Structure 1
């Protein structure tokens, strides 16, 4: 039986409960030979020292996208984007970026158009919110009042 004694600065150390007692090394079970293996054989895996060799520079290609400047990576800093200036593409394979100059949708100022609608067509505006009373209410007095107010404003 082992106990993990750990302090903040020290790494985890395993110490046997009884001195002189050997802890058996873990040996993975053998893989069955009758089953097909769906993975990279261990012999083909990159290992030191060959995996420590310098890798070629990252370059974008048809099957590889580079999104940051790897040569400018610094710990604690925000990565610089690559490419520095993006191409605006608007099609079925690209999203519409909020920073794009082409990201302009025709938007009416809803508050102004709503106010304009209420002023010019008060009956329709009232009935829009009170549909149940459309056949019960009479708007003759409201229409006369609005006409009088408009005549006073014109003078």
Structure 2
């Protein structure tokens, strides 16, 4: 995951995470299993009842948009006091797919695809890290850039 590789900034690379991922790929390779490395996301961020981009990316959204989640489907949502993430109970109160139409999630993807605040550049940097880590692994068939 992007959050696993770059938990706090583009320049901080979590080598322990990459090592664990490499071990998992090696275990599959040892059994003759090929890997497709996938950056999985659901609803862009944990701040929006999903997971995907690192928190420092989600926080690049305009503050009023960030705080507006889950508009327009609801006026507010209960959040965990220590993390600011929505509570699981609050997230499960609605069908999951509805969160994709919230302003915050749509603006998050727009920020990625238009490189607002350099988000696409940061995503490319993440992929360079992954590609260089697994460049010589014959069992890695390819990469799914964004699920």
Q: Look at both structures and tell me which one has the larger radius of gyration over its CA atoms.
A: 1
TM-score, length-normalised on structure 1? 0.17
TM-score, length-normalised on structure 2? 0.18
More helix as a share of residues: 2
